[in-house]
Amino acid sequence: MKGTPTNKKRALIVGSGIGGPVAAMALQRAGIEAVVYEAYDAPADYAGLFLNIASNGLDVLRTLDIDVPARADGFPVSRMVMYSGTGKCLGEVANGIRLPDNTVSVIVKRGLLQRVLREEAESRGIRTEYGKRLDSYEIIGNGGGVIARFEDGSEVEGDLLVGADGVRSRVRRLLNPDSPRPSYTGLLSLGGYARGPRITPTPETQHFIFGSRAFFGYLVRETGEIWWFANVARPDKPSRKELSRVSSAQWKRRLLELFSGDPDLIGEIVESTRGEIGAYPIHDIPTAPAWHKGPAVLIGDAVHATSPNSGQGASMAVEDAIVLAKCLRDVLDTERAFLTYERSRRERVEKVVAYSRRIGQSKAVSNPVARWIRDQIMPFALKHFANTGSHAWLYTYHVDWDEKVAA
Ligand SMILES: Cc1cc2nc3c(=O)[nH]c(=O)nc-3n(C[C@H](O)[C@H](O)[C@H](O)COP(=O)(O)OP(=O)(O)OC[C@H]3O[C@@H](n4cnc5c(N)ncnc54)[C@H](O)[C@@H]3O)c2cc1C
């Protein structure tokens, strides 16, 4: 794999979620020094529930020699099986493709994934500074770089700044104050971990149930632990304060009501949940007019947050990271490199965000007639429009590190 030892730029990366550390490692491979600045005071190794790293995301991590599935206790999921609220099997969809080394998409706890990426970056000599919440940045002269200022009063200078600071990105707002706000999709996501119901582990499988009032997904680990989530329609967006006031016991009661009449298994899983039930409103960013300006550029959720329905949020962030690094390696003028990066990525990520939102719309259908029609059509649709061939555009995306980027 080639790097460019002469490319002596220094990158300031804002955000040590998923895209940030991967961008730092990809930039290092491109010969660009990077330091990561994270708002949290310490590593957030337990933040969030679990997420899917699809085969296209794993392929990027493989290219960068980051072995996530083994180190982050990943649960391989090659297939997703769908059921109606009456328990009828509607069909199944492949969750990505099998990579040449037989790896399939994995579901990992988000906090553990973040820890593995952080530790891997550290082992490669990449520094992450905590308690550094970006407040503003200043562009130095014409092509002179950038100064990042943090809320603790400190500042740091670099040649370029990468906003990997998530859906509520500060960098996005500074870069373009007119950026559209993340759009609320009308769905809440809730989830947790359960143990108790005697459900036989089904290797490589995640199950989805289109309940009569809400959507439920679960998988059963080989240890018997069940990882589950629910999507609930809530047309008016609740505030974060309102959500934080709802206790886990209250969520349990609410979910038991919502899923009454659906397969009993759902109630059993919800009842036997241990620990907290987390809930958050799902947002996405269908399109952002500005991806970069001067020495600043955006990656991941900061520029194209996607709803979790397609299981692509983390994969899109790591794809961005490697493509950006390649562009900076091969196109020495920073702004032209950013433009090349945007041109390589915009169409794909916007397609993923739109696709993901469409999946979300089929999840909470309140009208019983519409639900009946959906359940009749879905077996045919899954067979003909959700097969490996029709999803090839999503899962077979491959970034060849050694191929040179043309400006
Ligand atoms: C706490 C949390 C929990 C999540 N839980 C889930 C989940 O359960 N399921 C799921 O599918 N997806 C979840 N996600 C979203 C998922 O991780 C992302 O869609 C995906 O990984 C894209 O990664 P990213 O690097 O672009 O952004 P993120 O992973 O969101 O990382 C952004 C990082 O930037 C930091 N940051 C934000 N503002 C600043 C600032 N001003 N200065 C410095 N740092 C800043 C944040 O603290 C965070 O560490 C969660 C995200 C977060 C932050």
Distance CA 86, CA 173 (A): 46
Q: Find the helix or strand (DSSP H, E) in which 257 lies.
A: helix 248-258
Ligand 1 midpoint to CA 54 (Å): 17
Per-residue pLDDT tens digits for 385-400: 666 677 889 999 999 9
Per-residue pLDDT tens digits for 184-225: 999 999 999 999 878 889 899 999 999 999 999 999 999 999
Query: Atom 21 (ligand 1): residue with closest C-alpha?
Result: 314
Nearest ligand 1 atom, CA 308: 11
Q: Find the helix or strand (DSSP H, E) in which 322 lies.
A: helix 313-330
Q: How does the average pLDDT of the chain come out, rounded?
A: 92
Phi, psi of 346 (to 5 degrees): -55, -50
Nearest ligand 1 atom, CA 165: 34
Buried b (16+ CB within 10 A) or exposed e, 175-204: bbeebeebbbbbbbbbbbbbeebebeeeee
Residues contacting ligand 1 via CB (< 6 Å): 14-20, 37-40, 47-49, 51, 110, 132-134, 164-166, 170, 300-302, 308, 313-314, 317
What pTM was estimated for this model as a whole?
Answer: 0.94
Instruction: Extract the tokens encoding 316.
Output: 């899109």
Ligand 1 midpoint to CA 18 (Å): 7
Q: What is the pLDDT of residue 365?
A: 65
DSSP structure class, residue 180: P
Instruction: Extract the tokens encoding 199.
Output: 């459900």
Is a pLDDT exceeding 50 seen at residue 4? Answer: no
141 pLDDT tier (thresholds 50, 70, 90):
confident
**What's the full length of the chain, in residues?**
407
Question: Residue 362 in 3-state DSSP?
Answer: coil
Distance CA 192, CA 184 (A): 22
Instruction: Extract the tokens encoding 396.
Output: 């077979």
Q: Answer whether 312's CB lies under 8 Å from 357's CB.
A: no
Per-residue pLDDT tens digits for 82-135: 999 999 999 999 999 998 888 899 999 999 999 999 999 999 999 999 999 999
378 pLDDT tier (thresholds 50, 70, 90):
confident
6 pLDDT tier (thresholds 50, 70, 90):
low
Pocket-testing residue among 12, 25, 40, 51, ligand 1, by greatest number of atoms within 8 A of Cβ: 51
Q: How do the residues of the chain divide into helix, strand and coil, expressed in percent and rounded to 5?
A: 35, 25, 40
**241 vs 343, more confident:** 343
> In sequence order, what are the beta bridge partners of 54?
none
Q: Average of pLDDT values for 57-71?
A: 94
Ligand 1 midpoint to CA 25 (Å): 18
Distance CA 384, CA 354 (A): 20
Domains parsed from the chain with CATH numbers: 10-76+106-182+285-367 (3.50.50.60), 183-284 (3.30.9.30)
Strand runs (DSSP E) across 176-268, as ranges? 183-194, 204-210, 214-220, 226-233
Distance CA 284, CA 202 (A): 31
Ligand 1 midpoint to CA 303 (Å): 12
Ligand 1 midpoint to CA 113 (Å): 12
